């Protein structure tokens, strides 16, 4: 039998490559084959896949910090927890992404991505899936891609062992099943 963890990575890899393809095409779906043949597009596609993995890892680290290390966060109501997690994770990743894109565009043609045109067209190809992923991750924590580090629940929750144990069981049980 194939390991559940390996299946999850293959599923995520397929989704990330598709997502990277959509991000890099943006609103230019009319010339897909012409773009696919360009070496620059291929390099940017591979770089985007790597960046998306780093974004997923960063979102998981934010999740881990808020739900296991921040005692003040554990005491909040579920609706506030969800909203705060989504705002922090999506906001941070979107800020990093736009900053990197703006830096690269400025290096290439001395332009800027911080225009009304970008935020009304191509930005949404990145933002909507990112927002959806953060919401799904909050609602179904067993969808985390990377394994959580093995730590004592008392250590992770700063004294809130029962809540941390419950959340940890939701995350770990689906990973261990074959």
C-alpha of 20 from chain center: 12
Given this model, what pLDDT does residue 115 score?
Answer: 77
Given this model, what pLDDT does residue 89 score?
Answer: 95
Dihedral (CA of 150, 170, 55, 64) sign: negative
State the Cα–Cα distance between residues 136 and 21, nearest whole angstrom.
21
Given this model, what pLDDT does residue 110 score?
Answer: 63
Given this model, what pLDDT does residue 90 score?
Answer: 95
Q: Which residues of the chain have pLDDT under 70?
A: 1-2, 27-28, 109-110, 147-178
Given this model, what pLDDT does residue 25 score?
Answer: 81
Given this model, what pLDDT does residue 167 score?
Answer: 58
Cα angle 98, 103, 106; round to 5: 120
Q: What would the 3-class secondary structure string for the chain be?
A: CCCHHHHHHHHHHHHHHHHHHHHHHCCCHHHHHHHHCCHHHHHHHHHHHHHHHHHHHHHHHHHHHHHHHCHHHHCCCHHHHHHHHHHHHHHHHHHHHHHHHHHHHHHHHCCCCCCHHHHHCCHHHHHHHHHHHHHHHHHCHHHCCCCCCCCCHHHHHCCCHHHHHHHHHHHHHHHHCC
Q: What is the pLDDT of residues 18-30, one digit of tens each?
A: 888 888 887 667 7
């Amino acid at each position: 039998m194939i390991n559940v963890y390996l299946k999850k990575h293959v599923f995520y890899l397929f989704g990330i490559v598709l997502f990277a393809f959509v991000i890099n095409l943006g609103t230019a779906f009319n010339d897909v084959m012409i773009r696919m043949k360009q070496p620059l597009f291929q390099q940017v596609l591979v770089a985007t896949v790597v960046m998306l993995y780093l974004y997923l890892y960063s979102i998981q680290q934010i999740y881990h910090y808020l739900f296991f290390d921040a005692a003040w966060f554990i005491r909040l109501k579920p609706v506030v927890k969800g909203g705060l997690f989504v705002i922090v994770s999506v906001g941070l990743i979107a800020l990093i992404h736009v900053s990197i894109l703006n830096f690269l565009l400025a290096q290439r043609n001395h332009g800027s991505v911080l225009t009304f045109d970008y935020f009304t067209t191509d930005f949404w190809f990145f933002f909507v899936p990112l927002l959806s992923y953060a919401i799904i991750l909050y609602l179904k924590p067993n969808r985390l891609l990377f394994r959580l580090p093995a730590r004592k629940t008392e250590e992770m929750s700063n004294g809130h062992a029962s809540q941390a144990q419950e959340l940890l069981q939701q995350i770990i049980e689906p990973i261990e099943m074959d």
